[in-house]
Structure formats: structure tokens, C-alpha cells
Structure 1
Amino acid sequence: MELSVEFFPPKTAEGAAKLRSVREQLATALKPTFFSVTFGAGGSTQDGTLATVKEIHEAGQQAAPHLSCVGSSKEKIRELLAQYKALGINRIVALRGDLPSGMGQYGEFHHADELVSFIRSETDSHFHIEVAAYPEMHPQAKSMTDDVLRFANKMKSGADSAITQYFFNSDAYFRFIDEAAKLGVDQPIVPGIMPITNSTQLLRFSDACGAEVPRWIRLRLQSFGDDTASIKAFGLDVVTDLCDQLTVAGAPGLHFYSLNQADTTLNIAKNLNLI
């Protein structure tokens, strides 16, 4: 089963040193297929993404930089693709991204399928292209039907596989897979996994990105108050059980949103006997 891990670019020297240690722990224990590195809206963390990707690649591990097209130009994307190709990078996570605060227009790209098509036209089959999937619907989608259609268009534009937004209801994932298959999608759709370590942070993230935290999970988290140990223990049980449901039913892999931490991802993997 394919495992992968997402990082965000550190902003300080201390953060970079910590991430280096986290990456080494995860690489040794999990042997992931790749580490992905996020890219801020309008390229706000572009330099950090490039530096982090370069370090991962030079350490002998596969790196997959995120590319966000909203607010960017074809020339800028072309330049980034050339830089990554020159480095020897052969995997890209292609995303629409959010319009940066204060920016009034999208730029030359409006949707991720346009970015996927552009990458293919510029670099042919050099890059393995991952795109995003939303089992519980993109927060800006008109309807679930429209969202699955847009997803299918992305896949047909040249994507090789997809990574989902995180979720806590496995039925949402399997229903999405079935609906995408009816539209001809046969590429792997890998579930994104968010460890639960901080209830306030999780609920804030989830409200912002449209990920549903089931009521029973919200209530249990609220009942723990500031008891961090209980929150982490409960979160570990919930997420391990979710991953078990997914892998037993044939999910092609797991993509961990690490938040630049090693312990939670490693603990889930241990519970699943992946280490």
C-alpha cells in the first residue's frame, strides 16, 4: 500500500531543523512513496516550497511540490515546472488554490483542470500529476453532482491520481469513489488522513475547508476540555479505526497531513501494523 506525507514549508531556521528531523523519522519508519510540500495562495510560500522540495530530493527521497494556479500566470507556472524538472522532480500536486486576500481576479487559470492540461502540454508525461478530491464536496461547489463532474474533468485532463481532503466518515469516501467511477474515473483516489491532536485547531481547519467533523466526535472532543492527553488518545483511536476501514475495503493508500509532526502519524501507522 502506498503511503505519503504532506509538509508545509517552515518559515524559520528552527522550523527547518525540526522538519528535517521529522522527515528523517518518517522516511526511516514509513518509507513513504513521496513527501508533498504545500504552496501558498498566489505563491506566498513559493521560495520555501522550492527549498524544502530541494532538500527532500537531495536526501534521496521523492518530493512532490504543490502548484497552486489561481493568481498565477502561465509564464510563472512554466518557470516553476522548468525549475522542478531541472532538479529531477517528477511528481506534482496540481491545485486550483484560493484567491489571495486582496486579489480581485483569478489570473490566467480559473480551475485545476486547466493547470493539469497546461502541465501536460508543457512537459508531456514527465510529471506524475496528483489532484485534489473532496468526498464531502468542495466548499464552493454548487452541488455534489457538479463537484464530482468537475473532479472527473480534472482526471480526464491528464491527472494520474488524486488525494482527498481529509474526512472522518468512510462512507463519504466510498460513495465518492463509486460516483467518480460512474463518470469513467479509474485512477487511484488516495484518502487524506488528518490526525487529531488539538480539538480547537481541528474544528477551525474543518470549518474553513468544509470537512465534516461528526457530531459525536465534536462532543467527545469538547468533553475533554484542555485534557490534551485524552484528546490525543481519543483521536488516535478514531483515526486508526478510520484508516483500518479504508485499507480493509481496498483504498489504494493513505496520505497523512502531518502538520510537520512525526509522532501522530507514526502512532497511527504502528496501530495499523504498517511499521
Structure 2
Amino acid sequence: MSTLAATIDQATAFSLLDWDPGPLSVSFEFFPPNSPKMEENLWAAIKRLEPLAPDFVSVTYGAGGSTRERTHNTVARILRETDLTPAAHLTCIGASRGEIDDIARRYWDEGVRHIVALRGDPAEGAGAYAPHPGGYAYAADLVAGLKRIGDFDISVAGYPDVHPAAPSAQFDLEYLKRKVDAGASRVITQYFFDPASFLRFRDKARAAGISAPIVPGIMPVTKFAQIQRFSAGCGAVVPDWLGRHFEGLDEDPATTRLVASAIVAEQCRQLIAAGVHEFHFYTLNRAELTAGICHLLGLRAREATQ
């Protein structure tokens, strides 16, 4: 075999060209709509992704608790009109313990058993985070409170690139352990772009005694400028190479989607090679890109496998 042929053989030994990733599980995140058109888009995305049989789908909770009723209405409708398992985001922001407990009990009474428990972000312009007087101060407190109400399946957030408010990576890990010890079932990470960042985070979490499943959060890029804005607020690192891949595509959404799907498929391929078999996709209420990536990873709609 020539040197070039050997190099190609090594490069494609575990690639998307011909591979079997084994059984994978996925979950999807949506956000509640604030207009009839956005509601139409959301339900089109839900119906498009439902046949992929995700473990669950989560519905976000806006900064400052701004989408409380819309989040509840979306979760209730998913539970009522689909076969999906909905997970409601719930935060510490803008409510007393009693108010949050009432929301949790309402979910429990309606049959919702999955919660994504977060500290939450202040509303825009509200300044730095400050606990609500008489409220749950932080996510670990919220997790413990939810467990007192019912045996919820609780997901919490982890940060491969470190939470922007954390004084150090070690502090961030220690606090994550508090959330898991309080009763969280799994960790879903903030999105990241370097697979090595997630793998280092996973290994450090295990070394810190965190045994709960750690699920990578995957964000396909739909608009690069938007990702830069999101990342500036949440602490996610945007590597230079990512910007180069999307250079000149601001007004070319079709090519952006093609590039994004290739990048995410490669990210997931590397993670699968390192033993990861669960993925959480931030869909931004757009189904096509997430559905295409899942197809590349071997997931098929239930109807296609019968």
C-alpha cells in the first residue's frame, strides 16, 4: 500500500463514510413561541422531529422568568398532543419558593415528571444576578426543593468552557457536584465547539465524584453572528477555525446549513469515538438541520424502521 493510500485508510477508518455508531439516544430543546407565526414554526419542528423518538424534549424558560406561562402552555400541549416526553425548564429567577413550588406541583399534577432546573438569567438590563428574597438562591437549592415535592427526573446544566460567573473551573465543578448530590439525574452541558473541551470536562467531573450521565449539548450554527452573541453571554468559546468556516456566509443560509451539518456531524463522530452515546440538540425551533444531523448519525424515523 502506498504512503498516500495508508494515510487515507487511517483517516477514514472511523468516519462518516462507512461506520456504525451503535445505539444512540437524543433529546431536543425548543423555546416557547411569542407569536402565531412562531407557534406554527415550533409545532412544525416538533412534528418533524417527533418520529426520531427522542428520550425527551425540553422547553426553555426566558430570562427573568419572562416566558413562564408560554413555557407551561407549550409543555402541556406537548404532553397532550404528542407521544413525546416533555421536560419543563424552571429557574430561580423572579419568584419566591412558594411560587416556584406551586409551579412544580402544577406540573406534577398534570403528569409532567421531567424538569430542567437552572439558576436562570436576569432580565435584560436588570444587572447582575441576585437571589429573589425568599426564593431559591441557586440551582442546587432548586433541585433539592423539587425533590421534596416529587420524584422528578431533573436535569441540570454543566459548562465545559466554565460558567461566566464562576471564579474558577474547580469552583464550577464543585458546584455542579452540589447540584447532582441534591438529586439531579443528569447533566446537560452548555454548547461547545471543541470536542476535546467536552471530554476534558467529562473526565474532570468524574474525577470530582460526579457519577450522573453527562450529556453534551450540541448547537448547530444557523447564523454565525448570532452564535457569537449567544456565546459572549454564556461563556462558550468560539474557536477561530469556526469563524473561518462561516466566513462570507452571512447572506447564504443554505450554504451555512450545509457547513453546519458537516461540522456538527464531525463533532459528534469524535465524541462517539470517545464513548459518548447521548446528545442534546439545541434546535432553535428549526427542525431541518437537526433532523439531517441525526440522519447522518444513523437515527431513523420510527415509520422508516417498521
Q: TM-score, normalised by structure 2?
A: 0.85
Moved over 6 A (4+): none
Report what 2:141 is aligned to: 114
User: Which among 41, 48, 68 is matched to residue 63 of structure 2?
Assistant: 41
Structural RMSD (CA): 1.4
Distance in 2 (CA, whole Å) between partners of 1:219 and 1:21 is 32
Structure 1 unpaired stretches of 5+: none
Report what 1:13 is aligned to: 36
Give yes or no for the alignment of 1:214 onto 2:239: yes
Residue 187 of structure 1 deviates from its aligned partner by 0.8
Report what 1:66 is aligned to: 89
Letter aligned with residue 50 of structure 1: H
CA 57–41 in structure 1, closer or farther in 2 if over 3 Å, else same: same
Report what 1:57 is aligned to: 79
Residue 91 of structure 1 deviates from its aligned partner by 0.5
Distance in 1 (CA, whole Å) between partners of 2:283 and 2:249 is 23
Residue 225 of structure 1 deviates from its aligned partner by 4.7
* Higher CA-based Rg: 2
Residue 201 of structure 1 deviates from its aligned partner by 1.1
Q: Percent identity?
A: 39
Give yes or no for the alignment of 1:261 onto 2:286: yes
Letter aligned with residue 253 of structure 1: E
> Cα deviation per residue 1:108-165 (whole Å; 9 max; x = unaligned)?
2221111111111222x2x100000001100111011111111111111110101100
Count the aligned residue pairs.
Answer: 272
Distance in 2 (CA, whole Å) between partners of 1:197 and 1:233 is 10
Report the 3-state secondary structure (helix = DSSP H, G, I; strand = E; otherwise coil) of the residue aligned with 1:39.
coil
Report the 3-state secondary structure (helix = DSSP H, G, I; strand = E; otherwise coil) of the residue aligned with 2:286.
coil
Report what 2:261 is aligned to: 236
Structure 2 unpaired stretches of 5+: 1-23, 301-306
Letter aligned with residue 62 of structure 1: T
Q: TM-score, normalised by structure 1?
A: 0.95
> Cα deviation per residue 1:62-94 (whole Å; 9 max; x = unaligned)?
100000113321011111111101110110000
Report what 2:201 is aligned to: 176
